[in-house]
Structure 1
C-alpha cells in the first residue's frame, strides 16, 4: 500500500493531529465499525472517565485492525464522535500519542448520545 498525504495552502490547515486528505493506491480496504470504550473482557465501559474511554476506543480499534492484518500506520481516515465537543482538545492530545504520523484524514462530530452512554466513538478506514 502506498499512502500519499495531500496538503494545500488553498484550504485551512488541520486543527489537530490529522491530514487534510490521504490518497492510497494498492492494497485491500477495511472499514472498521465504530468502537466505543468497552472492555473486551466484560463488555462494559472501562470507566466514566472521558480520557479512559478514548484510550480504550483506540485500543479496540487497533485490535480490530490487527485482526484484519493491518496496523495503525495504515489508517487513512478516522471519524470521531463526541458527546461533548468541549473535550475536543483532549481527544487531539490522546490521538497525537497513539496515532503514528503522518496522520490520517479525519472528521469530528458532536452527537447527542452514543450506545451504552459512551462519551466517545471512533471508526476507521484502513488500507492494507
Structure 2
C-alpha cells in the first residue's frame, strides 16, 4: 500500500495568505532557464470565476518571472489552455490588463479538463 504525503504550504498572493496542498515530489519545476530564456510551467488559479482564475494564474506568472529576474514586458510567447472556448473573449479582456503592445505571440487551446478542476492554465517563455 503506497501513501501520499501532502504538505500544506502558505502561499503569499496579492497580499493574502492562501493555502494550497502540494505533493512533496512534484515532477516539474516552476521554471527553468536555458539559452537566455525562462520557461515557466503551466500556472493555474484556484477554481472559481474565470476572472479570479485568470488573475491568480497571471499573478503566479508575475511572481515567478520576478523571482527569475524577468517581467511581463520580456515575455515572448504565451500558451493558454481553456476548458471553455466560449470564454475566450472574456479571457482576452482580462489578459490585456497584464500584457501591453507589442503583445507576445500567443496560442489558445481548448481542452477537456485541467488539473485540480481549473478552467485556465497559462505558461510563458520570457527573456531573462
2:38: which partner in 1? 30
- Secondary structure class of the residue paired with 2:106: strand
Q: Given the two structures, how large is their TM-score scaled by the length of structure 2?
A: 0.71
User: How big is the shift at 1:94?
Assistant: 0.6
Bigger relative CO (Cα 8 Å, ≥ 6 apart): 1
2-side partners of 1:50 and 1:110: how far apart?
14
Give a deviation string over 1:105-126, Cα, whole Å, max 9, x none: 0000000000100000000000
1:15: which partner in 2? none
Count how many residue pairs are aligned between Structure 1 and Structure 2: 94
* Unaligned 5+ runs, structure 1: 1-26, 38-44
The runs of at least 4 consecutive aligned structure 1 residues that moved more than 2 Å come to none
- 1:1-128 correspondence runs (5 A): 28-37=36-45, 45=46, 47-128=47-128
Q: Given the two structures, how large is their TM-score scaled by the length of structure 1?
A: 0.71
- Secondary structure class of the residue paired with 2:43: strand
The structure whose residues are more often strand, as a share, is: 2
* Unaligned 5+ runs, structure 2: 1-34
